[in-house]
Amino acid sequence: MTKADIVNEVSKKTGIEKVIVQKTIEASMETIKESLTQGNNVYLRGFGSFIVKKRAKKTARNISKNTTIIIPAHNVPAFKPAKTFINSVKDNVK
């Protein structure tokens, strides 16, 4: 499902114009991105959490050059689904 598909579904279910729905979804996504960029997590009860995970510094190998490189500590965005969300997906396995 793409963002356009989500806009179409929300528009059908709510009766709100697609342009307004699209602006709302874009604003929601932008707000989540800004929050994560600032190091804040976003919690949506019953859906899940958008969180910032901290990755520790580690050593890696460049196989083609046969060298060792150090990857510095960094943050990555992640999504952790809510238990109710996980259970509803598990129950719909065909």
CATH number at residue 26: 4.10.520.10
Structural domain span for residue 44: 3-91
Query: In which band, very low, low, confident or very high, does the pLDDT at 92 lie, cut at 50, 70 and 90?
Result: confident
Mean of pLDDT values over 45-61: 95
Number of domains in the chain: 1
Mean of pLDDT values over 37-53: 96
Q: What share of the chain is helix, strand, coil (3-state, %, to 5)?
A: 45, 30, 25
Mean of pLDDT values over 25-45: 96
State the pTM of this model.
0.79
Q: What is the pLDDT of residue 91?
A: 85
Q: Helices (DSSP H) in 1-94: which residue ranges?
A: 3-14, 18-37, 83-91
Residue 94 pLDDT > 80: no
